[in-house]
């Protein structure tokens, strides 16, 4: 027993755990796909906290599947190697030379950093990419007006067999957003898009889309706690949902149409955001349902 700690601190902890019981029961055995990026991957302390939360989810019989991005890390490595990189409407043109760096960073540096962080917290994570066991098969993606984006893919088929094998064990899969093309070529996939496709293939109970904003906001700037796909389309048409939030909500809608029960767009910078969403009454971010 720790001395000199006010008893009310322990009581508050016990109260919090007790209040979480209905949510622990609600998500018992549920598949939760988490798209991780941004703050959690760029800060060591945030990564440690995030990894601990994922291990706790697994310990509570939730089945987490992680999909990550890595754009800033790719940019940094391309700069170090003096390899030019072009973007069209925010999408990276991926030449064969750029693709080599993308694969090295995503499947190597970023993926293994997340795996290592989870393992350091007592979990058993395993890293893979969409190329492994032909997890994600892609068609070539095009830019606006049919612009050539090079080796960029859009998920055409996700085979969840390998992921379900992990979920039947105590392993936590961590997926890098790479896919394989029809001719066997390696293709770069947008991380959010890859995560949404994986969530749909697994018929996930929840798809947690971690971002650097608090959630989807209404016309007054207030974060919406919950919304339907119809509301998303209405706010988009009215210009309330705009800019970088549009591809996030489009990913959410595609996942829902693919069979995901609910998508949450939430702030990955907030401490324990995933736990707040799953195990508390108020949740976190914006829950989107059909």
Could you give the dihedral angle defined by the CA atoms of residues 154, 160, 165 and 171, in that order, rounded to the nearest 10 degrees?
50
pLDDT tens figures, 124-171: 999 999 999 999 999 999 988 889 999 999 999 999 999 999 988 999
In order of their start, the domains of the chain are: 27-289 (3.40.1160.10)
Summarize the confidence of residues 72-83 as an average pLDDT. Answer: 95
Q: How many CB atoms lie within 10 A of CB 66?
A: 26
pTM attached to this predicted model: 0.92
DSSP state of 30: -
3-state secondary structure 98-121: HHHHHHHHHHHHHHHHHHHHHHHC
Residue 64 has pLDDT above 60, yes or no: yes
Q: What is the predicted pLDDT for the residue at 217?
A: 94
Residue 1 has pLDDT above 60, yes or no: no
Residue 4 has pLDDT above 80, yes or no: no
pLDDT tens figures, 178-208: 999 999 999 999 999 999 999 999 999 999 9
Q: Collect all residues with Cβ–Cβ distance below 8 Å to 262 and sequence separation of at least 6.
A: 205, 206, 207, 256, 287, 288, 289
Q: What is the predicted pLDDT for the residue at 38?
A: 65
More confident residue, 108 or 37: 108
The phi and psi torsions of 225 (rounded to 5 degrees) equal: -75, -35
pLDDT tens figures, 216-234: 999 999 999 999 999 999 9
DSSP state of 223: B
Q: What mean pLDDT, rounded, does the chain reach? A: 92
């Amino acid at each position: 027993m720790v001395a000199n700690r006010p008893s009310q601190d322990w009581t508050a902890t016990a109260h919090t755990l007790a209040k979480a019981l209905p949510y622990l029961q609600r998500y018992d055995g549920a598949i939760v796909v988490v798209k991780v990026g941004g703050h959690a991957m760029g800060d060591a302390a945030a990564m440690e906290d995030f990894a601990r939360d994922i291990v706790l989810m697994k310990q509570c019989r939730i089945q987490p599947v992680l999909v990550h991005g890595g754009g800033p890390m790719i940019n940094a490595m391309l700069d170090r190697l003096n390899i030019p990189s072009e973007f069209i409407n925010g999408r990276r043109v991926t030449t064969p030379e750029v693709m080599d760096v993308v694969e090295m960073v995503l499947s190597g540096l970023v993926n293994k950093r997340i795996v290592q962080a989870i393992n350091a917290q007592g979990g058993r994570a395993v890293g893979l990419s969409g190329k492994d066991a032909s997890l994600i098969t892609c068609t070539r993606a095009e830019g606006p007006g049919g612009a050539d984006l090079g080796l960029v893919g859009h998920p055409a088929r996700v085979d969840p067999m390998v992921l379900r094998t992990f979920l039947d064990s105590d392993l936590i899969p961590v997926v890098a957003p790479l896919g394989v093309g029809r001719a066997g070529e390696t293709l770069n996939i947008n991380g959010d898009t890859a995560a949404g496709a994986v969530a749909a293939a697994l018929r996930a109970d929840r798809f947690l889309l971690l971002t650097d904003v608090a959630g989807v906001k209404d016309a007054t700037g207030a974060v919406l706690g919950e919304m339907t796909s119809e509301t998303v389309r209405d706010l988009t048409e009215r210009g309330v949902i705009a800019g970088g939030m549009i591809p996030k909500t489009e990913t959410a809608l595609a996942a829902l149409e693919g069979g995901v029960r609910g998508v949450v767009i939430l702030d990955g910078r907030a401490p324990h955001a995933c736990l707040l969403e799953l195990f508390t009454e108020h949740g976190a971010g914006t829950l989107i349902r059909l």
